């Protein structure tokens, strides 16, 4: 007997008080192995205006490509101090900044490996469901063989690819709609 799913509702504008207890902008404390990356996510509405009351959540593998989760049973190291979870609301400029490490490659069910990526959830007032996307890293040699990017029409792939700025920050603008609409996933 299947039970009916609990339907989704918007996070609304007033979530800040509780959820801040699990905010994580610093995903990888000192000592966690891997290439250090500063990631800035920007959130825009369909007219390009910044969304100052959004919430981002990040989920990623460690530098060995291992998720800290019991269903990842591969014999790869888990790094102490690294859970792989990040969470922060956008600021008045529509941005949130995270400090983490670049994830390793994780396998694809039909074989091969995915390019390094961070899984991203987005919540906001006016969004009745969580929307999910991914952040990839520009210039990564594995991008061309990533099975998820291959499923997306070529012209829209760049909406998932963070670009490295001169100060070393990886920046990814996310557009909920409009001509630059980000690719979102039905997971």
Partner 1 sequence: MTEKTYRRPTAGDHPPNLSPDYKSTPLRAPSQAAVVLPHSLSEITGPLLHGERLDANENDLTRQRMGEPLGERIIVHGRVLDEDGKAIPDALVEIWQCNAAGRYHHPGDQHDAPIDPNFYGGGRARADGEGHYRFVTIKPGAYPWKNHHNAWRPAHIHFSLFGPAFATRLITQMYFPNDPLLAFDPIYNSVPAGARERLQAAFDMATTQPEWALAYRFDIVLRGRNATPME
Contacts with partner 1 by CB under 8 A lie at 1-19, 21-22, 45-47, 49, 51, 53, 57, 59, 61, 67-69, 71-72, 83-85, 106-110, 114, 117, 119, 121, 123-132, 134, 148, 151-152, 176-177, 181-187
Question: Phi and psi of 114, rounded to 5°?
Answer: -85, 155
Binders of Fe ion in range 36-95 (CB under 5 A): none
Nearer to Fe ion, 12 or 178 (CB): 12
Query: Residue count at the site for Fe ion (CB under 5 A)?
Result: 1
| Minimum CB distance to Fe ion smaller for 14 or for 179 | 14
> Which distant-in-sequence residues (6+ apart) come within 8 Å of 150 by Cβ?
none
78: partner contacted, choices Fe ion, partner 1, none (Cβ within 5-8 A by kind): none
Exposure pattern of 61-84 as b/e (b: 16+ CB <10 Å)? Answer: bbbbbbbeeeeeeeeeeebeebbb
Identify which range of 9-17, 57-65, 137-145, 175-183 contacts Fe ion by CB under 5 A.
9-17
* Cα–Cα distance for residue pair 75/61, rounded to 1 Å: 14
Is residue 12 part of the contact set for Fe ion (CB under 5 A)?
yes
Q: Which H helix or E strand runs over 169?
A: strand 169-175
Where does 27-168 show beta strands of DSSP type E? Answer: 36-44, 54-59, 85-89, 95-101, 117-124, 131-137, 161-164
Smallest distance from Fe ion to CB 10, Å: 9
CB of 53: closest distance to Fe ion in angstroms?
13
H or E element at residue 171: strand 169-175
Least distance from C-beta 127 to Fe ion, angstroms?
Answer: 14
Nearer to partner 1, 72 or 169 (CB): 72
Q: How many Å apart are CA 105 and CA 143, to the nearest integer?
A: 11
Residue 159, contacted partner among Fe ion, partner 1, none, CB below 5-8 A by kind: none
**Nearest distance from residue 167's CB to partner 1, in Å?**
29
Would you tell me which residues interact with Fe ion (CB under 5 A)? Answer: 12
């Amino acid at each position: 007997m299947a039970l009916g799913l609990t339907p989704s509702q918007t996070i609304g504008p007033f979530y800040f008080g509780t959820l801040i207890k699990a905010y994580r902008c610093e995903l990888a404390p000192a000592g966690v192995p891997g290439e250090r990356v500063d990631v800035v996510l920007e959130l825009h509405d369909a007219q390009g205006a910044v969304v100052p009351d959004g919430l981002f959540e990040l989920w990623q593998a460690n530098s060995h490509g291992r998720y800290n989760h019991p269903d990842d049973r591969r014999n790869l190291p888990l790094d102490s101090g690294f859970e792989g979870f990040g969470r922060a609301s956008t600021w008045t400029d529509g941005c949130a900044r995270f400090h983490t490490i670049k994830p390793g490659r994780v396998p694809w069910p039909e074989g091969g490996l995915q390019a390094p990526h961070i899984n991203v959830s987005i919540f906001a007032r006016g969004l009745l469901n969580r929307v999910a996307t991914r952040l990839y890293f520009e210039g990564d040699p594995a991008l061309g063989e990533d099975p998820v990017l291959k499923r997306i029409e070529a012209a829209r792939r760049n909406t998932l690819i963070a670009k490295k700025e001169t100060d070393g920050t990886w920046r990814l603008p996310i557009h909920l709609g409009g001509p630059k609409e980000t690719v979102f996933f039905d997971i």
